[in-house]
Structure 1
Amino acid sequence: MKGFVFHGPGQSAWEEVPDPDIKDPTDAIVRVGAVTICGTDLHILKGDVPEVRPGTVLGHEAVGEIVEVGSDVRTVRPGDRVLVSCITSCGRCTYCREGMYGQCRGGGGWILGHLIDGTQASYVRVPYADLSVHPLPSAVDGKDAVLLADIFPTAYEVGVLNGHVRPGDTVAVVGAGPIGLAAIATARLFAPERIVAVDLDPARLEAAKRLGADAVADAAEAPEQLIADLTDGLGADVVIEAVGVPESFELCTRVVRPGGHVANVGVHGKPATLHLEDLWIKNVTITTGLVDTYSTPTLLRMAAAGRLPTSQLVTHTFPLDRMEEAYDVFSRAADTGALKIVLGGQQHDELVAVDAT
């Protein structure tokens, strides 16, 4: 079979790799039908995630069909159409019993495309299949469902739920990339008074408006003043950090109101200053987190009911064998307008790139 293989910083290729086999009785083998590319995959290619060994197939999100299961798998069987979660759960360790699947200590957590071969291939082995794949409702298209493997549960759990968004809140989302846009879409479910999107890219701010932002602000043009004007000087009730750089985190702490919440979702590669000299008196709650994907079944039901605008985030589609081209388009998002790219299997050669505007 073919897979997209990491060979070291700046080195990768779509090439022949061994077919996966059942290794443990809780495994399932999934024929991949649709995958997407994550910003984390770009970090891996840059060498920012040293745990990823050269020779690893990348990818941690997929939709596909079960083709084989181990002897202990009970909830899915060959022929089932499933969503492969970005998080694998053993279901038995202390963290899994508390619903913190991202912190699994039993051989799960974020392992696909990280510690073991991932989903950007013709087939993928999924450990602990009973808890790590989700049967797909027939009403949910694979192109939409694959966005529920990572970005929607991440935005919803780590951003909206950790931030305690409530009816009537002012919510500021700093960063209007895929995670920020998913945070805007899912924050709307809680009827905030207004959502303000902050970004440097005009095209992404336009996308934020389409996804439900009531106001947008250029990050280079004093967004603090706009948020202050909208809130009588108090600041936002909830601020969701969806970039992962020091400047964006520090902006979040400046625009949150006393008693408010800052929910950090962005993956930070550099230290950010925590200005406790200003924050100690403000009763501010700051949360961080890796997605646990406990919300995936709920999000799947909402997608089936037409409550999630998943398809609006997909700007480009490619056949699976054009993985290298898709990575190039995704890595140049500022030029290409790429938000989320979905790649289909070889049987979908009719898929072509779509207009990102």
Structure 2
Amino acid sequence: MKALVFQGPSRTSWRDVPDPGIKDAADAIVRVDTVTICGTDLHIVKGDVPEVVPGRVLGHEAVGTVVEIGGDVSTVSPGDRVLISCISACGRCRFCRGAQYGQCRGGGGWVLGHTIDGTQAEYVRVPFADLSVHPLPGAVDSDDAVLLADIFPTSYEVGVLNGNVRPGDTVVVVGAGPIGLAAVITARLYSPDRIIAVDLAESRLTTARALGADATVSASEEPERLVEDLTDGLGADVAMEAVGIPETFEMCTRMVRPGGRVANIGVHGKPAVLHLEDLWIKDVTITTGLVDTHSTPMLLGMMAAGRLPSASLVTHRFELGQMEEAYDIFSRAAETGALKVTLGGPQHNAVSVPDLP
């Protein structure tokens, strides 16, 4: 089969690799029908995630069709259309028993495209299939469903829930890429007073406004002053970091009010300065986290009911064999306007940018 293979920092190739097979009775083999690229994949390609070794098939998000199952799998069967979660869960360790699947110590956690071969391929082996794939209702489009593999549960759990967004809050989302935009959407579920989105790209700020941000500001135009002005000098109740660089994390710590919460969502490849000389007296809570995906069934139900807007997030579509072109478009998002790119069958053969709502 064909797959995208990491060959070292700044080097990948779409090439032939052996087909995956059942290794454990809890495995499923899934034919990949729709797959996407994550900002974390870009971090891997840049060399920010040293655990990913050359030769690894990348990717941790996909929708596909089950083609084979191990003897212990009971929740899906060959022919089922499924969502592949970015997190695999053994279901037995102390963390899985507490629904902290991202911290699984039984061989799961974030393994796809990280410590085992991932989803940017024609077929993928999914471990612990009973807890790591989700049957999809026919009414949910694949381009929408694939957003539930990572960005929606990540933004909701690591951003909204960790940040403890409450009615009446002022919420700042720094970074209006796919994760940040999903954070805007899911934060609105809790009726904050206002959501402020910060980004360098005007196209992303336009999308943020369309998806529910009450105010937007370029990162180059003193966003901290805007937050101060809108809150009478108090600061944001919740500041979400959705980029993964030191500058944006430190910006969030300056924007948050005394007693506020900083929810770091971004994947960081470099150290950030924690200014405790300023923060120690402010009663600020800072959270980090890897998504657990415990919210995926709930979010899937909301999407099936039409209550989770997502149409504006997929901006470009490709055939699966156009993986390297898709990476190029996605990596140059400031120039191309890319948010989420999806790859799949012939129905994806045109590169397109849909109109904003």
Q: Give the TM bin, normalised by the shorter chain.
A: over 0.9
* Amino acid in structure 2 at the alignment position of 1:239: A
CA gap of 1:350–1:208, structure 2 versus 1, over 3 A, is: closer
CA drift of 1:75 comes to: 0.7
* Amino acid in structure 2 at the alignment position of 1:257: R
Find the aligned partners of 1:218 and 1:27 in 2 and give their Cα distance.
Answer: 46
Measured against aligned partners, the alpha-carbon deviations of 1:151-183 in whole angstroms (never above 9, x if no partner) come to 111000000000000111110101111110000
CA contact (8 A) 1:33 1:344 kept: yes
Structure 2 counterpart SS, 1:181 = helix
CA drift of 1:122 comes to: 0.8
Find the aligned partners of 2:119 and 2:214 in 1 and give their Cα distance.
Answer: 36
Spell out the pairing of 1:32-71 with structure 2 (5 A cutoff).
Answer: 32-71=32-71
The answer for the alignment partner of 1:123 in structure 2 is 123
The answer for the alignment partner of 2:225 in structure 1 is 225
Residue 239 of structure 1 pairs with residue 239 of structure 2: yes
Find the aligned partners of 2:183 and 2:264 in 1 and give their Cα distance.
Answer: 12
140-149 or 218-227, larger mean C-alpha shift? 218-227
Measured against aligned partners, the alpha-carbon deviations of 1:33-78 in whole angstroms (never above 9, x if no partner) come to 1000011111222222221122111100000111110000011111
* Amino acid in structure 2 at the alignment position of 1:354: S
The answer for the alignment partner of 1:352 in structure 2 is 350
CA contact (8 A) 1:56 1:117 kept: yes
* Amino acid in structure 2 at the alignment position of 1:36: T
The answer for the alignment partner of 1:296 in structure 2 is 296
Find the aligned partners of 1:56 and 1:296 in 2 and give their Cα distance.
Answer: 26
The answer for the alignment partner of 2:272 in structure 1 is 272
The answer for the alignment partner of 1:179 in structure 2 is 179
Find the aligned partners of 1:158 and 1:272 in 2 and give their Cα distance.
Answer: 18
CA contact (8 A) 1:137 1:300 kept: no
CA drift of 1:114 comes to: 0.9
Find the aligned partners of 2:43 and 2:229 in 1 and give their Cα distance.
Answer: 37
CA gap of 1:330–1:224, structure 2 versus 1, over 3 A, is: same
Residue 3 of structure 1 pairs with residue 29 of structure 2: no
CA gap of 1:254–1:41, structure 2 versus 1, over 3 A, is: same
Runs of 4+ with deviation above 4 angstroms: none
Find the aligned partners of 1:266 and 1:41 in 2 and give their Cα distance.
Answer: 12
CA drift of 1:351 comes to: 2.8
CA drift of 1:355 comes to: 2.3
The answer for the alignment partner of 2:306 in structure 1 is 306
Find the aligned partners of 1:201 and 1:356 in 2 and give their Cα distance.
Answer: 17
The answer for the alignment partner of 2:105 in structure 1 is 105
Find the aligned partners of 1:176 and 1:63 in 2 and give their Cα distance.
Answer: 24
The answer for the alignment partner of 2:190 in structure 1 is 190
The answer for the alignment partner of 2:206 in structure 1 is 206
273-282 or 18-27, larger mean C-alpha shift? 273-282
The answer for the alignment partner of 1:162 in structure 2 is 162
CA contact (8 A) 2:312 2:354 kept: no
CA contact (8 A) 1:338 1:356 kept: no
Measured against aligned partners, the alpha-carbon deviations of 1:131-166 in whole angstroms (never above 9, x if no partner) come to 000111222101100011001110000000000001
Structure 2 counterpart SS, 1:125 = strand
Find the aligned partners of 2:4 and 2:347 in 1 and give their Cα distance.
Answer: 18
Find the aligned partners of 1:356 and 1:335 in 2 and give their Cα distance.
Answer: 16
CA drift of 1:349 comes to: 5.0
CA gap of 1:253–1:107, structure 2 versus 1, over 3 A, is: same
CA RMSD of superposed structures (Å) = 1.1
CA contact (8 A) 2:102 2:110 kept: yes
Residue 12 of structure 1 pairs with residue 15 of structure 2: no
Aligned length: 355
Find the aligned partners of 1:43 and 1:276 in 2 and give their Cα distance.
Answer: 27
CA contact (8 A) 1:314 1:340 kept: yes
TM-score by length of 1: 0.97
CA drift of 1:18 comes to: 1.0
Find the aligned partners of 2:183 and 2:353 in 1 and give their Cα distance.
Answer: 23
CA contact (8 A) 1:154 1:179 kept: yes
Taking every aligned residue pair, what percent have the same amino acid on both sides? 73
The answer for the alignment partner of 1:320 in structure 2 is 320
CA drift of 1:350 comes to: 5.4
CA contact (8 A) 1:336 1:356 kept: no
The answer for the alignment partner of 2:337 in structure 1 is 337
* Amino acid in structure 1 at the alignment position of 2:21: D
* Amino acid in structure 1 at the alignment position of 2:263: A
CA contact (8 A) 1:177 1:339 kept: yes
Measured against aligned partners, the alpha-carbon deviations of 1:166-210 in whole angstroms (never above 9, x if no partner) come to 111110101111110000010011111110011111111111111
CA drift of 1:16 comes to: 1.2
Find the aligned partners of 1:190 and 1:240 in 2 and give their Cα distance.
Answer: 15
CA drift of 1:356 comes to: 6.3
